[in-house]
Amino acid sequence: MSKIIRIGTRDSELALWQARTVQNALEKTGHKSELVPVKSTGDLNLDQPLYEMGITGIFTKTLDVAMIKGEVDIAVHSMKDVPTALPKGIVEAAVMKRASNKDILVHKGTEFLENGVGTIATGSLRRKAQWLHRYPNHKVVDLRGNVNTRMQKLKDNDWDGAIFAAAGLERIDLKPENFLDLNWMIPAPAQGAMLIVANEKDTYCRETIALLNHRESEICVHIEREFLKVLEGGCTAPIGALARIVDNEVYLKGALFSLDGTKKIEVDKKTPVSQVENFGKEAALEILNKGGKELMAEIKTVLK
């Protein structure tokens, strides 16, 4: 059986780039597909409330609904935006080869880094906490919107810089004049990876999409997301995790921060690739045992 696979995508420039990349990869395996940009959830008319179907992610909600309504066959997501528990009936079909996992600072000159005072913009709790951990005297202001919007806001304001995922900028071909790789910053779990999801019962799509899976990327992001899942328990906290495979060993660096960046609890572990089962979970339990339990409880009371 062969059919045209309908690829659901959000309509931002980044999302469209990602969906086209999947379309091109499918083309190379001899499979035809079409892009279906999905704008908003609109008039839902679903039998069940979203939460009962396990739909929680703000970035992924729209596509989840389109999948469940049968309007698209697969959906392409930035994997770091996907909640660790997928909605009922939706499964991971493939993880594409990961691009850069780095965070970068787009700035207007780096003198402020030596001066001790500065203002940085980011909407991410993880980036804010890590920035303040390193630069306790700086101010961090909120910044939201898609990549283009955030870049424009940085230009329009007198902030010293804003933090972006390198992968996001590369994908929409934005080359900022001034930027700095933040090699010390621990990225979001699965940053730089794309996830393709399919309906559990759609064997044809699942088998076809599985051809695009990149095993090493999949192993790493699964460890990072397992670490996240065990730590957060359904709440968004300043958590970073990065797994890398070098010579058949997986290296994992993971950390939990307090919201103000004063506290950092971290792990640095390695294990043979053949023994990755529960590796992310064990790292998370280690964090919880080192004061992470109390810190998560504290974060949850503030964010509630």
Ligand X SMILES: NCc1[nH]cc(CCC(=O)O)c1CC(=O)O
Residues near ligand X (CB under 6 A) are: 78, 80-81, 147, 164-165, 167-168, 191-192
- Measured from the CB atom, the residue of 140 and 295 that comes closer to ligand X is 140
- Nearest approach in angstroms of CB 204 to ligand X is 28
| Residue number with the smallest Cβ distance to ligand X | 168
CA distance 273 to 13: 35
- Measured from the CB atom, the residue of 223 and 295 that comes closer to ligand X is 223
Largest CA distance in the chain: 64
- Nearest approach in angstroms of CB 256 to ligand X is 19
In what side-by-side order are the strands of the sheet with 139-141? 139-141, 119-121, 161-165, 103-107, 179-181
| β 119-121/249-257 pair status | unpaired
Is residue 81 among the annotated active site residues?
Answer: yes
- Nearest approach in angstroms of CB 53 to ligand X is 23
Of 133, 252, 115, 231, residue with least CA distance to 182: 133
Residue 274 DSSP code: G
Contact 93, 206 (CB under 8 A): yes
Our CA dihedral for 274, 199, 197, 32, rounded to 10 degrees, sits at 110
| Set 11, 64, 73, 81: catalytic member | 81
- Measured from the CB atom, the residue of 202 and 224 that comes closer to ligand X is 224
Backbone angles phi, psi at 164, to 5 degrees: -135, 160
- Nearest approach in angstroms of CB 165 to ligand X is 3
- Measured from the CB atom, the residue of 118 and 168 that comes closer to ligand X is 168
Helices in 157-266 by DSSP H: which ranges?
Answer: 166-171, 203-210, 215-232
Of 214, 279, 275, 232, residue with least CA distance to 252: 279
Angle subtended by helix axes 215-232 and 279-287, to nearest 10? 30
- Measured from the CB atom, the residue of 255 and 295 that comes closer to ligand X is 255
- Measured from the CB atom, the residue of 237 and 295 that comes closer to ligand X is 237
- Nearest approach in angstroms of CB 145 to ligand X is 9
- Nearest approach in angstroms of CB 288 to ligand X is 25
Task: Provide the phi-psi class of 190: left if phi over 0, else alpha when psi is between -120 and 50, else beta.
Answer: left
Place of tokens 């023994």: 275
Instruction: Enumerate the active-site residues.
Output: 81
